[in-house]
A = this chain, B = another copy of it.
Amino acid sequence: MFEKVLIANRGEIALRVIRTCRELGLRTVAVHSEIDTEALHTRLADEAICIGPAEPSRSYLHIPAIIAAAEITGADAVHPGYGFLSENPEFAETCAQCGLEFIGPLPEQMRLWGDKVSARAMAKSLGLPTLDGTELIEDVEDAVRKAEGLGFPVLLKASGGGGGRGMHVVHSKEGLRAVFETARAESRAAFGNDALYFEKFLERPRHIEFQILGDKQGNIHVLGERECSIQRRHQKILEEAPSVALTDEMRRDMSVTVRRAMAEAGYLSAGTLEFLLDERGELTFLEMNPRIQVEHPVTELVMGIDLINEQIRIADGQPLELPAQPLTPRGHAIECRINAEDPDTFAPSPGVITELHMAGGTGVRVDSGVYGGGRVPPHYDPLVAKLIVHAPTRVQAIAKMRRALSETIIGGIRTNIPLHQRILEHPAFEEGRISTKFLDELHPERMLTAPVRH
C-alpha cells in the first residue's frame, strides 16, 4: 500500500481524510495557502507545505504547486476531498503521470459524468430512469420547438453546469425568447461552453441521492440513499438518511438498478447518483457526482462504515469488505452544515472564532475544520463544521439535533444555526413533508432579496 497521502484540500474534509489516514497508519501531508498557516488541517497533518497565497487559483487549485508538494515530501497518493480539484480530470491524470495514486474515480469517468448532457445520455443508456429532456439546442427557434415538444414549464440548463448553476425555469414561449440569449452568454462566461438543453421542470421535487462504491475488481455496492431536499439556491443545507419518502421496495428496486448501471459503466471509488423524486413517487436521474460528498457522514452513521477508508482501500486495489447483499440502514441520521454566514441575509461572515463549544454526547458526531481562536478566512467555502446526529428514529434524531444545536456555541462570527433551528422546529419538516422548495416557502421574501452565492 502507499504510505504517505497528500490531502489536496482544506477545512473539515481535509481533517476528515487525515483522521482516517492516521487510523490506517498512513502518514499525511497537508497543503495550505498562506492564510491557512494556522488552520487545523495544517496543524493536524504529519507534514504541512505552503503552496501559495490565499487565492484558490494560486494554491488549492494550482496543480503544479500541489504536485511539487507531493514530490518534495515523498507522498505517494493524493486525496482530493470535495470541491477544488476533486472532479478535475487533468489533475487526476497529472497525479497518475507523476506516479501518485489518485484516491478517486478515473479521469474518463470524471469527463463522462461531468458533462451534463453526456451524463444524461449515458444514464439513459444504462437503464436509469431520466427526466424527459432534449438534445442540445441549436438556436432560439430550435429552443421554442423543443420546449413546446416537451411542454412548459421547462428547465433551460447549461450542459457544462452543475451544482445547481446555469439553470433557468421557463414557463412560456415568450419567457423563453426573453431569456435564451442571456442564458447562453452566462453559460459561456461561467463554463466556457454555451451548449444548452431542456429538461422537464418539476414544481416541488425531493432531492434523493444514492451512495455507491466501486472497486478495482468491478464490484459495485449501493449504500442506500440520502435525502437532501433542504436547499437554498441548490446549495444543500441539511441532509438525512434514510429518506422518509422511499419505501423499502423503492429503495431495493433503485439499489438494484443503480448497481447494475454502475457495474456496466465500470465505476471506481465513491460516487453519488442524484435523483429527483416527483410527487407521484417517480425517481429520475439528475446527475452523478464522481467524488466524496459533503453529506457522506449520514450514510456512514446509518450503515456503520467509513467511506474514506473504503476509498483508500479501493485505490490500493483491495476489494471491498462489505457484505454482498445491500446493507440496511440502522436508525436515522441528520447532518446540519454550520456555515459562517448571517442566518437571515446569508451574507458570509468570516472572522476569528472567539469561543467554540461543540455539542457532544450520545449519537453526536462533529466534523469541524476550525478551533476556538482560529480564523475563518473570506476566500473559501463558509462551511465551518458539520454537526451530525444518529438516533434510532427520525423523531429522536430531530430532537437530538435540536439539543445539539442548543449546546453549540460559536462566538465571534455569525452562523446559520438559527436557520437550522427554524427548519427543525417546522411542523412540515417534522412530518417529512419537504421538497427542494422548502426553504423558499419558509422565507419567500428573503429568497428573492438575498444575494446570490455561487
Residues 373-415 of A at the B interface (beta carbon under 8 Å): 390-392, 396, 399-400, 402-403, 406-407
Cβ contacts under 8 Å, A423 to chain B: none
Cβ contacts under 8 Å, A330 to chain B: 304, 330
18 contacts between A and B (CB under 8 A): A15-B361, A16-B361, A19-B403, A19-B407, A22-B403, A22-B406, A23-B402, A44-B407, A304-B390, A306-B362, A306-B363, A308-B362, A330-B330, A357-B371, A360-B365, A362-B365, A363-B365, A372-B372
Q: Is A350 an interface residue (CB 8 A)?
A: no
The answer, among B305, B357, B367, for a CB contact under 8 Å with A360, is B367
Q: How far is the CB of A378 from chain B (nearest CB, A)?
A: 24
Structural contact, A360 and B371, CB atoms closer than 8 A: no
Cβ contacts under 8 Å, A436 to chain B: none
Residues 1-47 of A at the B interface (beta carbon under 8 Å): 15-16, 19-20, 22-25, 44
Q: Which 3 A-B pairs have the closest CB atoms?
A: A23-B399, A360-B366, A19-B361
Structural contact, A367 and B357, CB atoms closer than 8 A: no
Structural contact, A25 and B399, CB atoms closer than 8 A: yes
Q: Which residue of B lies closest to A372 (CB)?
A: B372
Q: How far is the CB of A267 from chain B (nearest CB, A)?
A: 23
Q: Is A368 an interface residue (CB 8 A)?
A: yes
User: What residues of chain A have their CB less than 8 Å away from a CB belonging to chain B?
Assistant: 15-16, 19-20, 22-25, 44, 297, 300, 304-306, 308-309, 330-331, 357-358, 360-368, 371-372, 390-392, 396, 399-400, 402-403, 406-407
> How many Å lie between the Cα of A131 and that of B368 in the bound state?
50
Structural contact, B361 and A396, CB atoms closer than 8 A: no
Main secondary structure of the interface of A (DSSP, over half): mixed
> How many Å lie between the Cα of A407 and that of B362 in the bound state?
20
Structural contact, B363 and A24, CB atoms closer than 8 A: no
Do A358 and B360 contact each other (CB < 8 Å), given the known contacts A306-B391, A399-B25?
yes
Cβ contacts under 8 Å, A25 to chain B: 399
> How many Å lie between the Cα of A407 and that of B28 in the bound state?
14
Structural contact, B24 and A399, CB atoms closer than 8 A: yes
Cβ contacts under 8 Å, A331 to chain B: 304
Q: How far is the CB of A16 from chain B (nearest CB, A)?
A: 6
Cβ contacts under 8 Å, A309 to chain B: 396
> How many Å lie between the Cα of A33 and that of B89 in the bound state?
62
> How many Å lie between the Cα of A362 and that of B360 in the bound state?
13
The answer, among B44, B297, B392, for a CB contact under 8 Å with A362, is B297
Cβ contacts under 8 Å, A19 to chain B: 361-362, 403, 407
